[in-house]
């Protein structure tokens, strides 16, 4: 097992808060800002910062619209984000698999 395997993990995704956001988005086509905030128990500022980081990496897309006269912000995973998340998962699984006694 490569001892530096963890260092190969995508640092943008590996941070706890961003990993949580990516995990939720991986299971849903899109999620509202409110849904993410309440499920992950994050503050508005914290969530906004993490989403901006993911957005700058090209991993998520943010859409703003109005529904029932209320502003609705939705976040979805981009194709690049999906590929990066899949690669991240594959590496994690490899680390776990290679650690198992043969």
Partner 1 sequence: MEQHVAAEHLQVIRTLMERSALYRRTLAPIMLYAGSVGCVASVGGILLGIDALPAFSIWWLIAALVAIGGSFAIARRQAVEDGEPFWSPPALRVTQALAPPLASGLLLSLGLIAFGGDDLRWVFVLANALFYGCAVHAAGFFMPRGMKLFGWLIIAAACAGVLGRPALGGVATSRPDHALMGGLFGLAHLGYGVYLYATEKRKTSS
Binding residues (CB under 8 A) for partner 1: these are 1, 3, 5-6, 14, 19-20, 23-32, 34-35, 37-40, 43-44, 67-68, 70-72, 74, 89, 92-93, 95-96, 98-99
Considering the complex, state which of residue 44 and residue 56 has its C-beta at the smaller distance from partner 1: 44
Q: How far is the CB of 81 from partner 1 (least distance, A)?
A: 14
Considering the complex, state which of residue 15 and residue 57 has its C-beta at the smaller distance from partner 1: 15
Q: How far is the CB of 95 from partner 1 (least distance, A)?
A: 4
Considering the complex, state which of residue 79 and residue 93 has its C-beta at the smaller distance from partner 1: 93
- CA distances for 42 relative to 5, 39, 79, 87, angstroms: 29, 8, 25, 26
In order, the DSSP letters of 10-74 are -HHHHSHHHHHHHHHHHTSS-EEHHHHHHHHT--HHHHHHHHHHHHHTTSEEEEEEEETTEEEEE
């Amino acid at each position: 097992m490569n001892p530096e395997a963890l260092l190969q993990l995508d640092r943008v995704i590996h941070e706890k808060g961003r990993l949580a956001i990516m995990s939720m988005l991986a299971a849903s086509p899109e999620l509202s800002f409110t849904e993410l905030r309440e499920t992950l128990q994050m503050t508005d500022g914290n969530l906004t910062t993490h989403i901006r980081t993911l957005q700058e990496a090209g991993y998520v897309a943010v859409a703003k619209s109005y529904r029932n006269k209320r502003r609705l912000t939705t976040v979805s995973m981009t194709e690049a984000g999906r590929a990066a998340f899949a690669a991240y998962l594959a590496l994690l699984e490899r680390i776990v698999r290679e650690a198992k006694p043969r």
